[in-house]
Amino acid sequence: MTHPGEQFYPEGVHWDETIVQGTLPDLLATAAANYGPRTALEFRDRPITYTELAGMAERAAAAFLRAGCGRNSSVALFLGNTPDHPVNFFGALKAGSRVAHLSPLDGEIALTHKVSDSGSRLLITSNLQALLPTALKFLEKGLIDRLVVCEDDSWGKVGTPQAPIPDDPRVVTFKAFVEGAPTPAQWPAVAVDDVALLQYTGGTTGLPKGAMLTHGNLTSAVSIYDVWGKPARATRGDVIERVICVLPLFHIYALTVVLLSSLRRGNLISIHQRFDVEAVMRDIEVKRATYFPGVPTMWIAIAALPNLDKRDFSSLTAIGSGGAPLPVEVAKFFESKVGKKLRSGWGMTETCSPGTGHPPVGPDKPGSIGLMLPGIELDVVSLDDPTKVLPPGEVGEIRIKGPNVTKGYWNKPVGSAEAFIDGRFLTGDIGYVDTDGYFFLVDRKKDMIISGGFNVYPQMIEQAIYTVPGVHEVIVLGIPDQYRGEAAKAFIKLKPDAKPFSLDELRAQLAGKIGKHEMPAEVAFVDDLPRTPVGKLSRHELRQQQKPSHLTQPGGRS
């Protein structure tokens, strides 16, 4: 046995099992062939079969090709949780394009960078009030040539606020976009090593970076989870799982763990447009959902239900938490009240999600992120010398290698090269491994804040705060937040004669510039901010000055 953690793997699972690679269009085509009449997606109580989903994606693919979006082109998706996402995601990939995910939670600064950096000249969005006005700004700026607008009411009327679609030749409804698009005699060839997705991350020392995730990376991630969960599925037999999808599909956790993995296995994905605790409970208690992957904020909300003891969770065969550190107290409370173990693993955007996981049985090690999953190699290296592997118990930077690990960052050859040492990706997470092969995180090398499962980048907030009149200098740090896990706190040095302002006044000034999840939860005015010996503002030194105050403690990420 090469890896000590393998002794705790589920029965019949081995570290060196074959991890299957393929392409995402083939994944959907195979699923449609195997599970055709089954329900693939359910949205607003409307079922969409595997056959229907594949057909919708093919019509979208034909339209993308007609629009000139084939090989070597990028298509930006600016969508929330509706079937429009998988239809256009698979459609763009079948046409040979790569997808650039845009987060509806982002502010204009980050979104503008992502559209420009990805080279996307066509953008898919929705006529929702929360999306369309922002998408139209990209047209006004000349960042895109064409805007395709999906009509939310096409999936059933629920009264969600919508924006009027302007009369502009560059703007077209999705229905008109796909109408009459001819099916090609031969679809573009798509290879395992082709970039399928530009998933933006990073940005602690600059603007977000697009992790290049290939078809092989993403299908490997699905295969890794397949191998890990094989024994559990075997005990349940040929049961069609009902998977709750509240996690945002533009996030790597939901894309891999929910969408791709569920389609691969023929499961039913129950799509929720937003997290509503009673809607989720209806899915569990009435519709008998079997799997609910969430983020800590969702579990905290469920744990806070006044009648939790009387709620029926019996249909759930699996639950999980990811995207952010799961407080140990929440996991213990949920298990004591509901009788189900709630455990979280660790992964990254750059790994297509998989990294570590907890076996169904094994040592109970509170605070651990678990064992490295099959096909993945993790080690811990010296902070001073990333080529020096450290023994168990010693703290250093975690490195990772596996078929699911990104090939690098889009348009950043230097940054891509610096991210790898001896073929292993430097995660930026600081931790250690014990003699049993269980990994633990103790800090983050980078300054990223994880708020409610979403990555929040201090420099993006700082850039926005610098637009506020009277601000001379600013540093943003993470602080603990009982609900979101972490939140941002702004330390501001004002210009001479400028007057302090309230937190509400600051947030009002930042509205539209950054996302709601990025808004500072606290603000402090200081006479001076620490600097490095060469005169740069020092976030590290400020963090040290704040100790032993309640700045954020280390945790997992995704």
Decide: residue 384, CB within 10 A, 0-12 exposed, 13-18 middle, 19+ buried: exposed
Strands 46-49 and 39-43: antiparallel
Tell me, yes or no, whether 286 and 398 share the same domain.
yes
The DSSP string of 288-299 is ---EEEE-HHHH
Residue labelled with tokens 């090709």:
65
- Which residues, at least 6 apart from 313, have a Cβ–Cβ distance to it below 8 Å? 284, 338, 339, 340
CA–CA separation, 471 vs 500, rounded Å? Answer: 9
Sign of CA pseudo-dihedral 230, 235, 237, 243? negative
418, pLDDT greater than 90 = yes
Q: What is the mean predicted confidence (pLDDT) over 155-165?
A: 89
Question: What is the CB neighbour count within 10 angstroms for residue 463?
Answer: 18
> For residue 199, is it within any domain?
no
In a domain, 436, yes or no: no
Q: What is the pLDDT of residue 400?
A: 98
Lowest average pLDDT, out of 64-68, 205-209, 225-229, 290-294, goes to 205-209
In a domain, 134, yes or no: yes
pLDDT for res 322: 81
408 assigned to some structural domain: no
**How far apart, in Å, are the Cα atoms of 146 and each of 137, 143, 190?**
12, 9, 24
Better-predicted residue by pLDDT, 447 or 425: 425
Token readout for 291 is 């799997």
DSSP 8-state class, residue 184: P
In this predicted structure, what is the pLDDT of residue 435? 96
pLDDT range class, residue 197, cuts 50, 70, 90: very high
What average pLDDT does the chain have?
A: 90
Residues across the chain: 558
Residues 77 and 151 in one domain: yes
Q: Which of 11-15, 123-127, 450-454 has the lowest mean pLDDT?
A: 450-454
Residue type, 70: G
Asked if 231 and 313 sit in the same domain, the reply is yes
What amino acid occupies position 360? Answer: P
Give residue 533's Cα distance to chain centre: 36
pLDDT at 455: 74
- How high is the pLDDT of residue 251? 92
165, two tokens: 């679609």
Instruction: Inform me whether the pLDDT recorded for 558 exceeds 50.
Output: no
My answer on whether 135 and 251 are in the same domain is: no
Does position 385 have pLDDT exceeding 60, yes or no?
Answer: yes
Cα–Cα distance measured from residue 324 to residue 350, given in angstroms and rounded to the nearest whole number: 15
3-state secondary structure of 123: strand
Give the confidence band of 1 by pLDDT, cuts at 50, 70, 90. very low
Counting the structural domains of the chain, the total is: 3
Range of the domain at 334: 4-19+215-403
Is pLDDT at 201 greater than 60 in this prediction?
Answer: yes
In a domain, 516, yes or no: yes
In the predicted structure, residue 20 carries a pLDDT above the cut 90: yes
Instruction: Say if residue 10 is in the same domain as residue 58.
Output: no
Same domain, 14 and 74: no
* 343 and 357 belong to one structural domain: yes
| 365 φ, ψ (degrees, to nearest 5) | -125, 85
If we measure between CA atoms, which residue out of 63, 19, 31 comes closest to residue 179? 63
Give the angle subtended at the CA of 158 by the CAs of 157 and 160, to the nearest 5°.
110
Q: Are residues 247 and 156 in the same domain?
A: no
The pLDDT confidence band at residue 534, using thresholds 50, 70 and 90, is low
Specify if 305 maps to a domain: yes
Within a domain: 183: yes
Instruction: Give the separation between CA 194 and CA 196, rounded to whole angstroms.
Output: 6
Q: Is the distance from CB of 114 to CB of 70 less than 8 angstroms?
A: no
DSSP 531: B
Q: Are 179 and 224 in the same domain?
A: no
Mean pLDDT of 435-461: 82
The 10s digit of each residue's pLDDT in 336-359 is 888 888 877 899 999 999 999 999
Q: In the predicted model, is pLDDT for residue 48 greater than 70?
A: yes
**Mean pLDDT (whole number) for 389-402:** 95
pLDDT above 90 (res 500): yes
Where residue 92 sits, what CATH number does that domain have? 3.40.50.980
Residues in Cβ contact with 141 at an 8 Å cutoff, skipping those fewer than 6 apart? 112
Q: Is 12 in the same domain as 88?
A: no
User: Do 396 and 482 fall within a single domain?
Assistant: no
CB atoms < 10 A from the CB of 32, how many? 21
* Residue 281 and residue 173 share a domain: no
pLDDT over threshold 60, residue 552: no
CATH number at residue 342: 3.40.50.12780
First to last CA, the chain: 28
- Three-state SS string across 229-263, please? HHHHHHHHCCCCCEEEECCCCCCHHHHHHHHHHHH
CATH number at residue 535: 3.30.300.30
| pLDDT given at position 533 | 53
Whether 415 is covered by a domain: the verdict is: no
Q: What is the pLDDT of residue 536?
A: 67
- The predicted pLDDT at position 236 comes to 77
> Which helix (H) or strand (E) element contains residue 84?
helix 84-94
Is residue 43 scored above 80 in pLDDT? yes
